[in-house]
Amino acid sequence: MRIGLAQMDILWENVQKNMEKAENFIEKAKEHEVELLIFPEMSLTGFSMNVEKTTADWQEQVRFFREKSRDSGITLVFGYPVPVKEEELQRHPQWKRYQNRLAVAENGEIRMSYAKIHPFTFGQEGDYFQGGEEIVCMNWKDTVLGGFICYDLRFPEIFQISSAQSEVLVIIANWPTARIDDWDCLLKARAIENQAFVAGVNRVGEGGGIAYNGHSVLYSPRGRRLTHFSEEESLLIGDIDPLQVQKCREVFPLKKDRRDDIYRKESLFTV
């Protein structure tokens, strides 16, 4: 399977221009026979808290990727901000009014939708966005994909839950240059400890006064880097074999030694 990482310089809050950029990535990916193409978090707007503007055309953003997945024959992973459904707000009046989502479009349909569980409160995301409440995955070709967003990467528990089924863990991000060393280390760790392929896609450029330098990467289940590091806008491509996940877990059955019964206990210490 061939995976493409669309390390994009997202133009700030400019959906139409970013659609043009995304279309160029899709065309290039098709030329290179990419089967799964992954875009960064909030793919067409950047990590903006100007929620009224960035969500005004959220349906158009989703429609764009649906149509491109159908026309190109490539499965597309993308991110977008969306208003919470009114019926959800009626049931949960204390909720924030927006969610930060990852979606997978295949053959013109949305196959998976995930709401970011951990809003980045340090960056005021928690003031506007409601955290999701579900870990989701989907069957894709001969493997299973799990999807997460940016700050989720710092919470390893959700990756362990996902990798009970998922063999490819996708993380889309707007991860700043100031903390890029954390991104590099955490992605490799998530691959090794979950014995899964990890595809991390970050943006480059500048948005909202914050600098981003990419380092999008594809890791093997043993933490071997399958793509080169880049700090420029670029399409990175790597090939994976899902059978490697099964073989890795059979040869070194790490998950069989997990003690979930203990991990769930509220107190681990005695005085």
Q: Which residues contact 56 (CB under 8 A, 6 or more apart)?
A: none
Token pair, residue 87, equals: 């019926």
Task: Write the burial class of residue 28 (CB in 10 Å: 0-12 exposed, 13-18 middle, 19+ buried).
Answer: middle
CATH match of 2-263 with 3.60.110.10: yes
Tens digits of residue pLDDT in 99-124: 999 999 999 999 999 999 999 999 99
Tens digits of residue pLDDT in 217-231: 999 999 999 999 999
Measure the CA–CA gap between 201 and 216, rounded to whole angstroms. Answer: 5
H helices present in the chain, as ranges: 15-31, 51-54, 58-72, 86-91, 156-162, 180-194, 243-251, 260-263
Residue 54 exposure: Cα atoms within 13 Å on the Cβ side: 25
Q: List per-residue pLDDT tens for the chain, 271 residues long.
A: 999 999 999 999 999 999 999 999 999 999 999 999 999 999 999 999 999 999 999 999 999 999 999 999 999 999 999 999 999 999 999 999 999 999 999 999 999 999 999 999 999 999 999 999 999 999 999 999 999 999 999 999 999 999 999 999 999 999 999 999 999 999 999 999 999 999 999 999 999 999 999 999 999 999 999 999 999 999 999 999 999 999 999 999 999 999 988 888 776 566 6
DSSP characters over 161-208: HHTTT-SEEEEEE--BGGGHHHHHHHHHHHHHHHTSEEEEEE-EEEET
Statement: the pTM of the whole predicted model exceeds 0.75 = yes
